[in-house]
Amino acid sequence: MATMPLMTRRRFALASLSASRSGERSFHVCLAPDALEADSGLLALVRDAGVTDVWVAGFFYGHWYYTPDRIARHFRAIKKAGLRPHAVQLPLGHPGDSLGAVAGQPPLIPPPHWSRAVRSDGRSQWGTSLHPPATQENAAALRRMAAIGARDVFLDDDFRLAPGPGAIGGCYCDRHIDEFRRLHGLSASVGDQIHNDVRTRAFTPLLRQWLDFHCSQLTASFRAMQKASPRLRLGIMVMYLGAEKAGIRLSDYSNVPFRVGELMFRDRDFTPVKGKTDELFSALFHRRFTPPELAYSESTAFPANELSAPNLAAKLAVSTLADVRHTMFMSGLTPFPRAHWEVLKPAIQSHRTRHRKFAGLAPQGPFKHFWGEASRYAGDDKPYSLFLAAGVPFEVCHALPAEGHVFLSDADALTGTRSAATLVSRAVVPETLADLFRLKARFRPSFEASSVPFVLDEKPAVLAWFPSARAALLWNLSERPESFAIRLRSRDIPVQAGPLALVEMRDL
């Protein structure tokens, strides 16, 4: 039987970039050498499902647990299978086990000659700490990666200075406090003031200055790694709602591969309606800072078997709605159960086809998605996201808009924000579907008068409206089939949607 000639790496890269710019959705998976060696058919399985790119775990915060020679062998096997190889590097460490290896062998903390972070509460922890020689050793590892043929490397979400979502990060050791104080000519008591601002989550000029200091350090580390190996294209994975409080100045990474933050890695987290709207909220927020061609998802199950295949397939809707062009499947060092790929294969094909039709379009509507600086610097990363499930069209705002209905987090509401728009906080409208459906009913006459389509039913659904294309996407957030009526002016349009399905509507 004749075999198809394989693309060269350069031709494949150019074709991939060209496809992304034209709206084509690509699908990637991150796999560890252990997983590839344990299952000789794994590459064929993921390729048959529609995956084109494989990312191999490499350098782990000071450790070559998988040696460069071993990674190089897998790069060659990936290319032989007709797939494109890349590498993932874990640069700083993680305050918990983010790997989930079956054998339990990989080291979970950096080597002893690295330094621990000092948290704002005085406790110390490994990871999330930017002290020498972390940058230098990561740069050296990237040079090794380039030497074995890597051209694209992602720094995983361990490249942050906060232990997790909602935490105000930074290292509060004497060295960092003294450096910050000298840099800004501040008094010896500034450390006490910083600790108080962090404890009370007070969005003060001092807290902003302190976190910007850490953002500058993390950005400098990233750029030093770029400079150390200019042949590599280096990308950053940003955790759920990751921003300045985690040392991540998002605008600094707008021209590099950028994995948007997600969090709902288990069924118990993703199944609730708010789990889905929180996930979508984070992806929409991060897309403010990166073009779709450079945007990657974090379509993760962790542990690998705790997100069902239907829920993992449903996660693909988040990227379609947010115009994230590259899907990255991840599950730590343990691969998904093989049976997941039977469910993912048709979902991949469906979203690839649908995304092509909607790529480049921005949703518009009277409900406004806004995540302000107070949330990014001092908030608890609990967005008012459930409005996305009310079946009313929405749009993402870079700044506080002057019209529409803006849903504010508690942190943004506390700033005393004023606007000509209608500001909705939890103190005004509790974040429940029942309250949001009542709000929708109150605004219904204005929607009808302005020819805005909306879901007439009181059922949880996301409605993304693209008026320039006279089209919309409806995401059924229920795990059962649902019938919906879309009210547009004086007519009702019936829509049938399967469980967690994304449905396309035209000629609106």
Q: How big is the chain by its Cα radius of gyration, in Å?
A: 23
pTM of the model: 0.94
Report pLDDT for 409. 97
CB atoms within 10 A of CB 249: 18
Report pLDDT for 21. 60
Report pLDDT for 392. 98
Residue 488, pLDDT > 70, answer yes
pLDDT bin (cut points 50, 70, 90) of residue 419 is confident
Q: Give the residue-averaged pLDDT of 101-120.
A: 84
**Coil/strand/helix, residue 349:** helix
Q: Which domains does the chain have, with CATH numbers?
A: 24-358 (3.20.20.80), 367-505 (no CATH)
Residue 92, pLDDT > 50, answer yes
Residue 396, pLDDT > 60, answer yes
Which residue in 107, 213, 85 sits closest to 161, CA to CA?
213
Both tokens of 225, joined, read: 């790694």
Report pLDDT for 484. 98
Alpha-carbon span 445 to 39, nearest angstrom: 59
Report pLDDT for 103. 61
Contacts 24+ apart (CB under 8 A), 207-213: 207/168, 207/377, 207/378, 208/244, 208/373, 208/377, 209/184, 210/170, 210/180, 211/168, 211/169, 211/170, 211/244, 211/245, 211/247, 211/377, 212/244, 212/249, 213/170, 213/180, 213/183
Q: Are 374 and 381 in contact (CB under 8 A)?
A: no
Helix axes 273-286, 309-322, angle to 10 degrees: 40
Burial class (CB in 10 A: 0-12, 13-18, 19+), 12: middle
Contacts of 8 (CB under 8 A, 6+ apart): none
Q: Give the residue-averaged pLDDT of 490-507.
A: 96
Residue 11, pLDDT > 60, answer no
pLDDT bin (cut points 50, 70, 90) of residue 101 is low
Q: Give the residue-averaged pLDDT of 3-27.
A: 54
pLDDT bin (cut points 50, 70, 90) of residue 465 is very high
How does pLDDT run across 266-318, given as a tens digit for each residue? 999 999 999 999 999 999 999 999 999 999 999 999 999 999 999 999 999 99
